[in-house]
Amino acid sequence: MRVHICAVGRLRVGPEKTLIDDYLERFDRTGRALGLGPARVVEVDDKKNAGMGAEADLLRKSLPRGAVICTLDERGKVISSPDLADRMAGWRDSGRQDLALIIGGADGIDPALRAEADFSISFGKMVWPHMLVRVMLAEQIYRAATILSGSPYHRV
């Protein structure tokens, strides 16, 4: 199952990009034997600043046909790392070819796009900068692969 992190905005070269690239490379290596990966980041940019609706349209165009759609949203469900691993394995085992993890812009994800999602995850009640959410998400998908592989990386 291919993993797509679909995000509003462009990430410049810097420490966040270095971390994301590192975690996604680790995920690709670990996930390959598990039927997970590769992972990639798809960035969309609302150059006209037309708002959440325009961002949602750009995000929809970036989604692979038939993908599981999972939003990262403060209204989403707070789950554990093993829960995420189990969900990813379940989607993979049900024959889904693609997982699209959506990170909205500064104002969040358009309600209509949120309603289209198969699942929604929250990283808690705190508000996180979008670039850090990308880093945390990349680490969590790598962690999910290590959990599924039985690696000691994840400790309870």
Enumerate residues 6+ apart whose C-beta is below 8 A from 140.
Answer: 81, 84
Domains, in order of start, for the chain: 2-149 (3.40.1280.10)
Cα 149 to chain centroid, rounded: 20
Q: How far apart are CA 146 and CA 122, in angstroms?
A: 21
pLDDT tens, residue by residue, 1-58: 999 999 999 988 999 999 999 999 999 999 999 999 999 999 999 778 888 999 999 9
Which residues make beta-bridge pairs with 98? 2
pTM comes to: 0.95
Q: How far apart are CA 101 and CA 66, in angstroms?
A: 13
96, exposed or middle or buried, with CB in 10 Å at 0-12, 13-18, 19+?
middle
